[in-house]
Amino acid sequence: MKQRLLKLSSQIDALSLRERGALFAAAAAVILFLLYAVLLNPLDAQQAALRTQISQQRNNIAGIDQEITQQVQDYGQDPDVALRARLSVVNAEATKLSGQLRAVQRDLVAPNQVVPLLDAILKTHGRLRLLSLTTLPVSGLNEAAAGAAAALPPATLPSAPGVVSPGAPAAAAAAKPPELLYRHGVQLAVQGNYLDMLDYMAALEAMPAQLFWGKVTLDATQYPATTLTLTLYTLGLERTWITL
């Protein structure tokens, strides 16, 4: 394997600087396409499935609440009995949902361990130089979904001329569901050899605890020195910031 790499290196050295740049740009484009197809698409689907599961659990709780309320109205039960029954059902659903969320979180890197873990793996790839490591603002999964919905054109409803509903914004704010999971992100920039960067990304992918891959960019404007910028995410039950 080493001989093949040396042979490949000598062949690349024999090319002109312009040919090297073109070859590197083509290879980088292929690698970025493969990274997107193999890593980013499945992780986006996993996050979407998780948001769908949380939404379904909320709908189940709301449906049970409506059934209990209807039973109270139909049979004239004691309101305290209905309240206790409602609390019991809601607590059971909340316990179930909490267990599911914790099971998902166990497969991911804890937010307070992301930065130390990235730093430890980077130290095993000594030929890469760390340029920057910054935390990103924490956001809830509901916030991400709301941001996507905000990009859609608003629906308009007919109303009487001059009539304004001042309570609508307050009602919308009150109806906002509580966050159950928060997304913690970091942006990492390193500089070095292209093959060393591939090894580093492979080491990140092979970790027992996983991270969600966000954006991956390669900058070869200072060839042969190359800059790799990674955006990585994990999920947590708390909004606590990742500490550097």
At residue 132 the predicted structure's pLDDT band, cuts being 50, 70 and 90, is: very high
**Chain segment 64-114, per-residue pLDDT in tens:** 888 887 776 766 656 576 677 777 887 777 677 766 666 666 678 888 888
Query: Dmax over Cα atoms in the chain, in whole Å?
Result: 90
**Has residue 94 been placed in a domain?**
yes
Please report the pLDDT score of residue 172 as a whole number. 47
Q: What residues make up the domain containing 190?
A: 2-142+179-236
**Chain segment 101-126, per-residue pLDDT in tens:** 666 666 788 888 888 888 888 898 88
What CATH number does the domain containing 89 carry? 3.30.70.60
**Has residue 200 been placed in a domain?**
yes
- Tell me the two tokens of residue 199: 């090894």
Mean per-residue pLDDT, 193-205: 88
Parallel/antiparallel/unpaired status of strands 226-236 and 182-192: antiparallel
**Chain segment 160-182, per-residue pLDDT in tens:** 444 444 444 544 444 566 777 88
**Has residue 83 been placed in a domain?**
yes
Domains in the chain: how many in total? 1
Which of 180, 181, 184 shows the shortest CA–CA distance to 137? Answer: 184
**Has residue 193 been placed in a domain?**
yes
**Has residue 73 been placed in a domain?**
yes
Please report the pLDDT score of residue 156 as a whole number. 45
Rounded to the nearest 5 degrees, what angle is found at the Cα of 173, between the Cα atoms of 172 and 179?
Answer: 115
Percent of the chain with pLDDT over 90: 8
At residue 6 the predicted structure's pLDDT band, cuts being 50, 70 and 90, is: low
**Chain segment 204-230, per-residue pLDDT in tens:** 888 888 888 888 898 888 877 889 999
**Has residue 15 been placed in a domain?**
yes
**Has residue 136 been placed in a domain?**
yes
Q: Is the pLDDT of residue 192 over 80?
A: yes
Among 55-59, 176-180, 199-203, name the most confident range. 199-203
Rounded to the nearest 5 degrees, what angle is found at the Cα of 217, between the Cα atoms of 194 and 233?
Answer: 110
Average pLDDT, the chain: 74
**Has residue 113 been placed in a domain?**
yes
- Tell me the two tokens of residue 71: 């039973």
Q: Is the pLDDT of residue 41 over 70?
A: no
